[in-house]
Amino acid sequence: MNKELVILIFSWITCLFLLIKFIPKEKKRYFQIIFLFAHATAWIFQYIQVNIGLVSFPYREFEQATKMSFSLYYVVLPTFAVFFMLFYPEKQNWMRKWIHYLIFCNGMHLYMFLVERHTELVHDINWHWWFAVTIDLCILYLVKTFAFWFRKGLSESSD
């Protein structure tokens, strides 16, 4: 078994364990919606990156179907987004919220940097860390905006 497959299996197991273990049972549906929205948003950004030629994925799970990585943007990044929302400091000041964004954006980028540096899962062609962090900030902002909008609709419909 090659190291790329081992890393993908380990990433899947870790993400699934974290999601099952730490998401409160009464909020599972809410976080499933967040996961799916992050998944769709990440797919769009990944599709654009691949078609522009900013990144490539030499090792893919579905080589014949797509040029994109299934696990990295369909499981790992949405898991980061779920935990971003789980620990989001709603009632804190703007500085604490900004630090929260930076921690999660840099955490996502660190994971992708390590994967890119040590495996054949990702190759950065014209990709820079500041651009990656900016994209991650956009994705997390969209996820947060959607999650708050969705939660508002849930509270209004239950009244």
Predicted pLDDT at 75: 92
Predicted pLDDT at 157: 58
**Which range marks the domain in which residue 105 is found?**
3-21+30-158
Cβ-contact 86, 23 below 8 angstroms:
yes
The total domain count for the chain is: 1
Q: E strands of the chain, at which residues?
A: 55-56, 123-124
Residue with tokens 């769709």: 40
Cβ-contact 57, 121 below 8 angstroms:
yes
Residue with tokens 């990585």: 69
Predicted pLDDT at 145: 95
Other beta carbons within 10 Å of 102: 13
Predicted pLDDT at 97: 96
Rg of the Cα atoms in the chain? 16
Question: pLDDT digit of tens for each residue in the chain (159 aa)?
Answer: 688 999 999 999 999 999 999 999 999 999 999 999 999 998 898 888 888 988 888 888 888 888 888 888 889 999 999 999 999 999 999 999 999 999 999 999 899 889 989 998 888 888 777 888 888 899 999 999 999 999 887 666 554
Q: pTM value?
A: 0.89
